[in-house]
Amino acid sequence: MKSDHELQQDVSAELIWDPSVDDSHVVVEAHDGTVTLVGRVGSHAQKWRAEAAALRVGGVKGLVSRLAVELPNIDKRSDAEIAKAAREVLAWNASVPAGKVKVAVDDGWVTLSGEVEWEYQSNAAEVALRNLIGTQGLLNLIQIRPAVEPRDVTQHIEAALRRCAQNHPKAVSVVVNGGTVTLCGELDSWRERDAVRRAAWAAPGIRNVVDQTTITG
């Protein structure tokens, strides 16, 4: 297990290494496997990329982000401009069903709402708007409303987990109640956790995934 100092050094090195991250005003702290990012960045996209870079580092069990978004004057946009741009981006995204996702903007914060059939559609809408100029943050409130009822979900999910997660089936248990999947167990990395979540969301009829897994690596 890495010491706090080693973890702090590794995360700092990852931020420096990633060319998409501006770490010039970011300070990294580490305590008992939890990493805290403190400072400021020039866009919401920069904040997200810094957080993603930190989670890639082995040994990171949790992340606290205290990064403030301070937009340069050239990037500042009105809420109306951001909303218009967001609607246009979603309209051109083939993974986002037309007319299903609504956009609201308040003081630079973008909120997505509406209903879609699959989690990947909700995620596609969120990803599409991460790089919008002028945004302070993004809140995804899109609800998943499958068109079919879940059937044989546990077996489908467990088969998918065996294909994508190194430690399954020993490390992860799957409990299905209606359209909700609860995942429990220990995983080696955030990357493996992402793979497990994707496998659960890919099952037909799933409305919600409750992730109770822990990172031990």
The string of pLDDT tens digits covering residues 197-208 is 888 888 888 889
Q: CB count, 10 Å around CB of 129?
A: 23
What does the alpha-carbon distance between residue 18 and residue 11 come to, in Å, rounded to a whole number?
A: 11
β-strands 62-69, 34-41: how paired? parallel
Q: Is the model's pLDDT at 35 over the cut of 60?
A: yes
Domain ranges of the chain: 4-70, 75-144, 153-215
Residue 168: DSSP 8-state: T
CATH top class, domain 4-70: alpha beta
State the pLDDT confidence band at 47, using cuts at 50, 70 and 90: very high
Give the per-residue pLDDT at 164: 66
The pLDDT of residue 170 is above 70: no
**Token pair of 11 as six digits:** 């995360």
Report how far residue 86's alpha carbon sits from residue 52's, in angstroms, rounded to the nearest whole number: 22
CA distance 149 to 199: 17
Residues 183/194, Cβ–Cβ less than 8 Å: no
What are the strands, taking DSSP E only, across 4-136? 26-31, 34-41, 62-69, 101-106, 109-116
Q: Does 39 have pLDDT greater than 90? A: yes
The confidence score (pLDDT) of residue 144 equals 94
> Are the C-beta atoms of residues 194 and 177 closer than 8 Å to each other?
no
Mean predicted confidence (pLDDT) in 27-54: 96
Q: The pTM is what?
A: 0.80
> How many residues belong to the chain?
217
Q: Supply the CATH classification number for the domain 153-215.
A: 3.30.300.130
Q: Would you state the pLDDT for residue 165?
A: 56
- Topology match between the domains 4-70 and 75-144: yes
Are the C-beta atoms of 101 and 90 separated by less than 8 Å? yes
Q: Does domain 75-144 have CATH number 1.10.510.10?
A: no
**pLDDT at 168 exceeding the cut of 60:** no
Q: What are the beta bridge partners of residue 183?
A: 174, 211
Place 122 in a pLDDT band, splitting at 50, 70 and 90.
very high
| Local confidence band at 30 (pLDDT 50, 70, 90 cut-offs) | very high
Over residues 105-116, mean pLDDT: 97
How confident is residue 114, by pLDDT bands cut at 50, 70 and 90? very high
